[in-house]
Amino acid sequence: MSPVGFTHGTVTMNLSVMLYNHVKPNNLGVLVGEVGFKLETNPDTVLAPDIAFIASDRIGARTPGYRLDPPDLAVEVMSQWDTKPEVDRKTALWLELGAKSVWNVNPKKRTVEVNLANGEKRLFHETDELSDDTVPGFRIGVSEIFT
């Protein structure tokens, strides 16, 4: 990917910090930014979501290289040069390769689309409160992400 623009960077930082401030004190697991997950071998698939959450019971040993399992949650923040079909394709791939949930954050529309492995898709608007059992107990006003 290209380096992201400023809006994308701000939104990613806001959401990372809010997730981290919930995940860490509640000891729910590990939150990481922009790291590679190696999901298929020969031919290889490596994806790097903007933010990823791995639940504590699935963390296992920390190794320096790519992690070989999918995260529980992958968060993708759309940049101005991402198109909806690209984002949908990526989401389908994440779910197919084992992520439990994918959040597509759209800074332009100020929405968050939550896509669950069970096929459920929910769209949260600016006045909604975002929650997803993949990160137990987490809830924030969508508008906070875009401030």
Partner 1 sequence: MSTTTHLMTAEELMNIDDEPNRHELIKGELLTMSPPGLTHGIVTVNLSTVLHNHVKANNLGLLIGEAGFKLEINPDTVLAPDIAFIARDRVGIITPGFRSGPPDLAVEVMSQWDTKPEVDRKAALWLELGAKSVWNVNPKKRTVEVNRADGERRLFHDTDELVDDTVPGFRVKVSEIFA
Nearest to 19 by CA among 54, 59, 66: 54
Q: What angle do CA 25, 27, 29 make, to 5 degrees?
A: 125
Among 19-27, 98-106, 111-119, 130-138, the segment contacting partner 1 (CB under 8 A)? 19-27
The structure tokens 């198109």 sit at 83
9 lines the binding site for partner 1 (CB under 8 A): yes
Q: Which is nearer to partner 1, 13 or 123 (CB)?
A: 13
Q: Which is nearer to partner 1, 48 or 117 (CB)?
A: 48
143, two tokens: 């508008």
Nearest to 31 by CA among 12, 46, 9, 4: 12
Among 60-68, 109-117, 126-134, 136-144, the segment contacting partner 1 (CB under 8 A)? 60-68
Task: Give how far Cα 25 sits from Cα of 46, 93, 111, Å.
Answer: 30, 31, 27
67 lines the binding site for partner 1 (CB under 8 A): yes
Footprint of partner 1 on 70-109 (CB under 8 A): 80-81, 86, 90, 107
**Contact set with partner 1 (CB under 8 A):** 1-10, 12-13, 16-17, 20-21, 24, 30-36, 46-48, 50, 52, 62-67, 80-81, 86, 90, 107
